[in-house]
């Protein structure tokens, strides 16, 4: 937010934590803080995803402790989060920071050594430890993120190792988070030094008279791209939907086959990649131009190519020495970056027929959803004469920016018009929609993957590009349904685990037994779920929970809930209580 002080940001962060607590009954502030900061880092591209999950236990004469984790889709990387919350900008002692980081390394070591065998089964903490243990042989890298609302004075952290696995540590304190929030775009732009990667690249400047950009053409060795992805991960790919398709589609299988069987033909078979940068260092020699360095780099098209090369090198130990990839690099003036880069990304030649799958905040669908949320009023309830709005937050932090941009009197009026309890985000919308699409196993994959599936399987298959008023009313009714059912299940089973999984599975199953269209119309008019539906949901949730806890094989509930077979088992529940 422009002109925002660090103190203002700390207050806004605290409010975001309170909002998250309201959405996640049963969480502690520490868990909510981890989720809030994770959302910042996921949007920035630093993280692909993160699941808050707290666990602590003795470790020899020391301790182990972790506050969240994520295992990459390819199983090669483990991310761990450490949280130190409640300091409101105070400075943490250096020894405390290092100790907490050490505890996270201890936790990873304990997971490797079978710590789950000493834990109580059927809990999210057990699932986390067991999953890490099961994936351990495949890990190539571990990242530990120290998240805090305090200030830190630790500037450099040595790289550690657990056996042969590299452990890289990162600190995100209140000042660094504040800078990220102020930036309005990705903080700490990526710089690529081709000399450090292995050598300068011959390049050709495309002729043209445009003053706002320049195009360079080059060929990048496949190993260079794999190393770039290894260093910067998803942040290099602008979190493009295509980057997460991994090797499941026919195109990616073809890429992998070419890498293994005909690496010298990769350039002939591949359309190449498109990159953007805000600066390029080019040296003119007698033999032509050489590209030395790029500033603020993003791969806007070709995420699958890049990820496939990285996965082939790391997972399959493929030799990339013969692989060459054609590249178009558009060097854009920094002040035009936000205008030109989305268009370059949209119009770049696509290897996969996804059309406009790069659905992000500025897509017509989400822009129109935002307009509808500001225009349509929800009916007044409980005898009140004042109706209100459900606020769709299209861009992270948008609600807080709009709320605080004017006087205190304006803020008071804004709170009445747009209550915090009626604010929801893109990933929230995806969760509600995919639940009613009878895809609770997709919701259980996590916020980001659920959002990607919603984009590809629902939004892009709609008859119209933008939502209408009825769509918005139904979406709000789904939100009310989800929120109130989750709250009722939690109140009836305080302390029970897997609340999110039980909720999405219960509602998905319940929606098979009721007239959904009529129920949504009724919920929109009343702004609440009918009592008989809430009672039915609670009864059904008990049967759903049994199916989830009865996970086959290893008994890992979290992994079981992500499988379509789990949803089939829930559909087979004999129940007529609706």
Mean residue pLDDT across the chain: 86
Alpha carbon distance 158, 233 (integer Å): 20
User: Which tokens go with 66?
Assistant: 């972790």
For residue 419, pLDDT over 50 is answered with yes
Phi, then psi, of 488 in degrees rounded to 5: -70, -40
Instruction: Give the range with max mean pLDDT: 26-30, 456-460, 515-519.
Output: 515-519
For residue 361, pLDDT over 70 is answered with no
Min mean pLDDT across 1-15, 301-315, 533-547 is at: 1-15
- Ordered DSSP codes for 41-73: HHHHTS-S--EEEEEEEEETTEEEEEEEEEE-T
> What is the pLDDT confidence band of residue 52, given thresholds at 50, 70 and 90?
very high
Q: Which residues pair with 507 in a beta bridge?
A: none
User: Which tokens go with 215?
Assistant: 């195009």
3-state secondary structure of 399: helix
User: Which tokens go with 98?
Assistant: 């290092």
pLDDT at residue 46 in the model: 85
183 vs 367, residue with greater confidence: 367
| Residue 395, Ramachandran bin (φ over 0: left; ψ between -120 and 50: alpha; else beta) | beta
For residue 434, pLDDT over 90 is answered with yes
Alpha carbon distance 144, 76 (integer Å): 15
> What is the pLDDT confidence band of residue 16, given thresholds at 50, 70 and 90?
confident
3-state secondary structure of 430: helix
Average pLDDT over residues 468-488: 96
pLDDT at residue 12 in the model: 83
Give the whole-number percent of the chain exceeding pLDDT 90.
53
For residue 119, pLDDT over 80 is answered with yes
pLDDT at residue 354 in the model: 40
Min mean pLDDT across 14-18, 252-256, 560-564 is at: 252-256
pLDDT at residue 239 in the model: 42
- Non-local (6+) Cβ contacts of 502 within 8 A are 489, 496, 541, 544, 545, 548
Alpha carbon distance 369, 390 (integer Å): 11
Residue closest to 156 by CA, chosen among 97, 78, 103, 196: 97
> What is the pLDDT confidence band of residue 3, given thresholds at 50, 70 and 90?
very low
Q: Which residues pair with 275 in a beta bridge?
A: 299, 329
User: Which tokens go with 352?
Assistant: 């996969």
> What is the pLDDT confidence band of residue 253, given thresholds at 50, 70 and 90?
low
48 vs 557, residue with greater confidence: 557
Alpha carbon distance 210, 490 (integer Å): 60
- Non-local (6+) Cβ contacts of 335 within 8 A are none
> What is the pLDDT confidence band of residue 243, given thresholds at 50, 70 and 90?
very low
Q: What is the pLDDT of residues 336-358, one digit of tens each?
A: 765 666 556 655 544 444 433 34
386 vs 172, residue with greater confidence: 172
Give the whole-number percent of the chain exceeding pLDDT 70.
89
pLDDT at residue 343 in the model: 59
Residue closest to 426 by CA, chosen among 392, 382, 468, 381: 392
Q: What is the pLDDT of residues 59-83, one digit of tens each?
A: 999 999 999 999 988 889 999 999 9
User: Which tokens go with 96?
Assistant: 């405390």
End-to-end CA distance of the chain: 47
pLDDT at residue 249 in the model: 43
Alpha carbon distance 305, 85 (integer Å): 40
Contact 499, 23 (CB under 8 A): no
User: Which tokens go with 153?
Assistant: 């004075």
184 vs 421, residue with greater confidence: 421
Contact 10, 148 (CB under 8 A): no
Residue closest to 47 by CA, chosen among 186, 253, 167: 186
396 vs 213, residue with greater confidence: 213
- Ordered DSSP codes for 478-545: HHHHHHHHHHHHHHHSTT-S-HHHHHHHHHHHHTTTS-HHHHHHHHHHHTS--HHHHHHHHHHHHHHH
> What is the pLDDT confidence band of residue 164, given thresholds at 50, 70 and 90?
very high
Find tokens 């199983």 and name the residue.
75
């Amino acid at each position: 937010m422009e002109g925002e002080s660090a103190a203002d940001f700390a207050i806004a962060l605290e409010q975001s934590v309170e909002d998250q607590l309201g959405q996640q009954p049963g969480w502690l502030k520490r868990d909510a803080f981890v989720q809030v900061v994770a959302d910042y880092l996921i949007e920035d591209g630093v993280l692909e995803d993160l699941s808050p999950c707290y666990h602590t236990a003795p470790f020899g004469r020391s301790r182990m402790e972790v506050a969240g984790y994520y295992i990459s889709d390819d199983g090669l990387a483990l991310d761990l989060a450490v949280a130190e919350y409640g300091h409101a900008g105070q400075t943490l002692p250096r020894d405390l920071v290092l100790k907490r980081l050490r505890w996270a390394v201890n936790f990873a070591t304990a997971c490797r050594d079978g710590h789950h065998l000493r834990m109580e089964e059927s809990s999210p903490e057990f699932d986390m430890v067991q999953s890490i243990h099961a994936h351990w042989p495949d890990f190539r890298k571990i990242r530990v993120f120290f998240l805090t609302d305090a200030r830190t004075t630790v500037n450099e952290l040595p790289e550690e190792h657990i056996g042969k696995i590299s452990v890289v540590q990162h600190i995100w304190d209140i000042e660094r988070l504040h800078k990220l929030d102020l930036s309005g775009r990705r903080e700490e732009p990526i710089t690529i030094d081709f000399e450090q990667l292995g050598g300068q690249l011959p390049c050709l400047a495309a002729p043209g008279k445009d003053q706002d950009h320049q195009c360079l053409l080059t060929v990048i060795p496949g190993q260079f791209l794999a190393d770039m992805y290894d260093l910067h991960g998803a942040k290099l790919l602008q979190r493009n939907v295509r980057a997460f398709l991994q090797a499941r589609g026919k195109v990616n299988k073809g890429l992998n086959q070419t890498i293994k069987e005909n690496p010298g033909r990769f350039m002939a078979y591949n359309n190449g990649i498109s990159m953007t940068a805000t600066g390029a260092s080019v040296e003119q020699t007698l033999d032509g131009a050489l590209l030395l360095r790029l500033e603020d780099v993003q791969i806007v098209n070709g995420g699958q190519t890049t990820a496939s090369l990285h996965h082939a090198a790391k997972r399959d130990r493929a030799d990339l020495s013969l692989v060459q990839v054609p590249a178009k690099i558009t060097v854009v003036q920094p002040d035009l970056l936000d205008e030109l880069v989305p268009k370059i990304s949209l119009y770049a030649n696509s290897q996969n027929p996804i059309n406009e799958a790069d659905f992000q905040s500025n897509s017509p669908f989400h822009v129109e959803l935002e307009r509808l949320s500001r225009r349509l009023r929800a009916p007044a309830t409980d005898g009140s004469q004042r109706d209100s709005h459900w606020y769709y937050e299209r861009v992270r932090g948008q609600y807080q920016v709009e709320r605080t941009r004017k006087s205190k009197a304006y803020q008071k009026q804004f709170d009445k018009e747009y209550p915090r309890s009626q604010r929801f985000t893109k990933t929230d919308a995806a969760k509600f929609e995919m639940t009613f699409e009878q895809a609770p196993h997709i919701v259980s994959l996590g916020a980001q993957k659920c959002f990607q599936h919603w984009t590809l399987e629902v939004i892009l298959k709609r008859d119209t590009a933008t939502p209408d008023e009825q769509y918005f009313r139904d979406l709000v009714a789904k939100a009310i349904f989800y929120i109130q059912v989750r709250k009722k299940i939690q109140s009836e089973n305080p302390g029970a685990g897997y609340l999110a999984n039980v909720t999405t599975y219960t509602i998905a199953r319940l929606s098979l037994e009721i007239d959904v269209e009529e129920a949504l119309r009724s919920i929109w008019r009343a702004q609440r779920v009918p009592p008989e539906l809430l009672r039915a949901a609670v009864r059904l949730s008990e049967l759903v929970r049994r199916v989830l806890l009865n996970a086959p094989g290893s008994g890992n509930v979290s992994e079981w809930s992500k499988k379509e077979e789990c949803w089939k088992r829930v559909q087979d529940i004999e129940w007529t209580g609706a």
